[in-house]
Amino acid sequence: MAFKLNGKNYPLWSRLMKVAIGGRRGYSHIVDEPPEPNSKGYRDWEETDLVIFSWIIDNIEHDIIADFAHHQTSKALWDNLRITFESKADSFHIYDLEDKVLYIRQGNLDLETYYRRIHGLWINVDRSQKQPVTCCDKGIKQFRDFTSEKRLFKFLTGLNLEYNAIRRDILKLEPYPSVEEAYALVKKEATRCKIMSLASSSPIGDATGVGSTDTSSGEIGYGFGAQRDRPNRNGPQRPPPAGAAAHQAGGKPDKSK
């Protein structure tokens, strides 16, 4: 995988390993009990299990491999990794994540980077601590709705002042949107403001029709930001020949000159 198990990244590592092993039809080797050594088909099962065992070992950092390589089956190895790294939550790690979430602000970050960072912190928080509500489906849903609302407020408060208008519009919605939906609305508003600011600083058109929306010539136009930079495809203009202006106006050239 892109990274190996180092003892601190078990939640994400185990998830990706499950996907990799399951995608190769080997998931049963880490969840089901192995067959008896003398049972029919054991040799074929063992050969497959050794392959899966090697996949897991190859994705563990070298300095901790020796603590786990002695296991005889993939399931025994997998279970021991879970007991070692998942059963005890690292309170200092969770504290650090929550502290970063609390104080993160957009600041000099662009909108996409701000959202990606705060969303990544929330994912790590969810992976690092167990679900506190287990009583029933209704209770779990209520907790998730409560958490979603808190995270929406956090995302909005971290935005820069330029998003005050869309922030107020989002808070007026009933029910509140998810953080993902709110981000989509803010991004749409940011795009609109960017386009309109370009439009306000660009010419709409002139007497020659350059930059206008007239499509009679078969051309669509250049858009807000590029109108001022439209190239002259006819090259530099040459002065008209002598007498041309008078001829176009319906007059006659002065032969006395």
The domain ranges of the chain are 10-85, 91-199
Read off the tokens for 94.
């969770």
In angstroms, rounded to a whole number, what is the distance separating the alpha carbons of residues 129 and 134? Answer: 13
Mind listing the pLDDT tens digit for each residue in 78-128?
999 988 887 555 677 788 888 999 999 999 999 999 999 999 888 888 877
Max intra-chain CA distance, the chain: 122
Judge if the upstream peptide bond of residue 132 is cis by omega within 30 degrees of 0: no
Residue 92: Cβ-neighbour burial (10 angstroms; 0-12, 13-18, 19+): exposed
CA distance 104 to 107: 9
DSSP codes, 182-199: HHHHHHHHHHHHHHHHHH
Percent of the chain with pLDDT over 90: 47
In eight-state DSSP terms, residue 176 is P
pLDDT digits (tens, 9 = 90+) for 126-170: 877 766 666 676 777 888 889 999 999 999 999 999 999 999 999
Residue in the block written with tokens 């180092």: 6
Instruction: Provide the whole-model pTM.
Output: 0.53
Distances (CA, A) of 215 to 208, 219, 220: 14, 5, 6
Q: Which residues pair with 5 in a beta bridge?
A: 60
- Cα 181–Cα 183–Cα 188 angle in degrees, nearest 5: 100
Mean pLDDT of 227-253: 51
- Tell me the backbone φ, ψ of residue 9, rounded to 5 degrees: -115, 25
